[in-house]
Structure 1
Amino acid sequence: MTNTVTDFSVAPVETEAANDQPETEYMNTLWSQQYGYYKTIPELRAVIDAKARWTIGKGFETDPQTKFILDSIIGFGKDTFNTILENLIRTMNIGGDSFAEIIRDKDDNFVNLKPIDPGTIKIIVNRKGLIKRYEQTTKTKETSITTEFTKESIFHLSRNRTADEVHGISLIDSSTTGLGLVDIILARNEAMADMRQLMHRHVKPIIKWQLDTDDTKKIAEFKAKADQATNKGENIFIPLGAVEHEVVSVPTNATLNPLPWIQQLNQYFFQAAGVPQIIVGGSQEITEATAKILYLAFQQTIEEDQLYIEEQLDIQVGLKIELEFPASLENELLSDQKKAETTQAATPEDTTVQGVELNGSNTEV
């Protein structure tokens, strides 16, 4: 029997870790495709930019000496330390890993941090899975030049590295399975394309022309004339009885309305991405209390990312900073809770109503 319906299943996946060789290398060969999704899909770009923007928050706090050093960091020449970190966080979410060259002077003083295209970097690990070095290949296909970097000269961020894998996991997809937000993105854009075509056909419906000739030349001439008139919005003049036409339309309720499906995919997309729609300016039919809970939940995720960045800067570059969260609602939520507690009944008198009987005596209800 063919075309049978099979149950959904998930294939097992092995970690991309060091194998039984002196060296194992990993390179993100999907970077160009992942970056293409980021550049093309606006809602994906909004989510990733929001994650990077909120992780940087209001900037960083540190001691005066470290601040003096970081204020002189220029990246590719026009960067600040904040924009460099935001760039690396954005890149990490797109491809799973981000890299920057740690540049030091002859006295081994940290002087700059320059982001690198992750699609050109190979991670080289030894048999035990420990990073030995990094290698960068040129982008030109004519000549391939490899530049080696020690592990101490590369600042490396990995998103959600799992088990013994030597790389992070892209927010867009998994480098192993190729699945993730991609399926939701494709389904949503396919539905939007269908909706676009449906709306287009409502405004400019298809017309079925019936000509009184089977001469292909005359048919082609009339087709060109009719199409030109339609595209330019002009009138078309035809001899009486020479042509009959019929507007091809779809009856009401003859097809499914794609809008609920698009809205469901949209909601699922932001849920899977881990960013509430209110963060990127989306409007939903939610209460103020629900919005505060969503905001507070998102705050925990961002603070976890901030802690990761702070720890990596400390162990890889030797910089101690503290990233500030943009604005917290935690105190406001605690204040709302106290207000709710104070409005509760404290004594039996708070729940009784005193009235006056007709004879003038007081009574409690």
Structure 2
Amino acid sequence: MKIENRFLKYVSFDTQSSETSETAPTTSKQIEFADFLAEEMRILGMKDVERNEYGIVYGTIPANVEEEGETIGFISHMDTSPDASGKDVKPQIIRDYDGGIIKLNNTMNLDPEENPELKTLIHHDLITTDGTTLLGADDKAGIAIIMTMAEYLFRHPTFLHHDISIAFTPDEEVGRGVINFDIDRFGADYAYTVDGGPIEEYSFENFNAYKATVSIKGKSYHPGDAKNKMINALTLGRDFDILLGDVNRPEHTEGHDGFYHLHNMEGDVSNATLSYIIREHSKEKMEELLAHMNDAAAYINNKYGDEYIKIETVKQYENMKDIIAKRPEIVTQVSDAMIDIGLSPVIAPIRGGTDGAMLSAKGLPTPNLGTGGYNYHGPYEYASLTSMKKGVELLLAIIRNSRK
């Protein structure tokens, strides 16, 4: 099957995960897609295919060589972001992109001046949304690349390789993709997530990640009789956020810069809650960000003479850089493979996390590869079919190099 047809089929499944669900997977509709993939894997010829109770799909491409060697793994996630609908996706295909403005609908466009990466994709075949949903390239482009690679191997038995482990996970977008992942069941010595952006980029470091819940209590009085009595929890929340400063915000940072991201604020005069995610590549700088939050709370509490603000932090995932540094050859292997197929490798720190971060922390070194997708999590998402085809070449080159 052509990768284009495979990808279009995959994005027809609505697999949005949920931040609030306590089940695994967080939405039952992910199971439908998982079962579809498991059946496709069996048809291709994979062995030990299983969709387990948590919605994780495992399979193996058996070795066709007698020599011993390490098992390489490839992983992508099935869910799409809760940030935008993934239901009834209507993809639009632009053949031989000419570098101009792409019309999504009557009111929405992809403009190269606002999306400069489009200028690097002239003559590519692109797939966009119609502006009403996300596309789902994150991460169905990755799944399409892996499955097309697998199909190639089964159709070309003279391409020699050791065992190759495949897995597709649910709930990556809500940080729960590999909570129930069985590394022993997977059976790989090392792996790659195929879950990035530009196809020439690869990553072996990501943010250290925390979330923080800031609980604020106030004192409510009738506003006509509130002087020197009322303490407005919403106002305290505003003051707290201002104390964090404007520099360390997502909209002002890039590269290795960390940030505070206030993504939800709710409440009233008596009680308010601010929800943050906190990101930083350096553990030392992360400690500084957390300490600054505590200092801001202490300042306001001292000012008003009571503990009006409390902060609860939860660690979400760690930077995988230190773990992968113990296996430098699996990074070099990617760079060499890119050069082999005519790409200019670019090392890019992940400004987020992948399943690979948690898997690396659990003992399975797992760098991340690109998919050719852009503008994830919203209606401006699009993907390069040309890059996705190159992604298949890249996986094959990595497999080939792994035997050297």
TM-score by shorter chain over 0.5: no
Q: Which of 1 and 2 has greater Rg?
A: 1
TM-score, with length taken from structure 1: 0.24
Superposition TM-score, scaled by structure 2 size = 0.22
The higher relative CO (CA closer than 8 Å, separation ≥ 6) is in 2
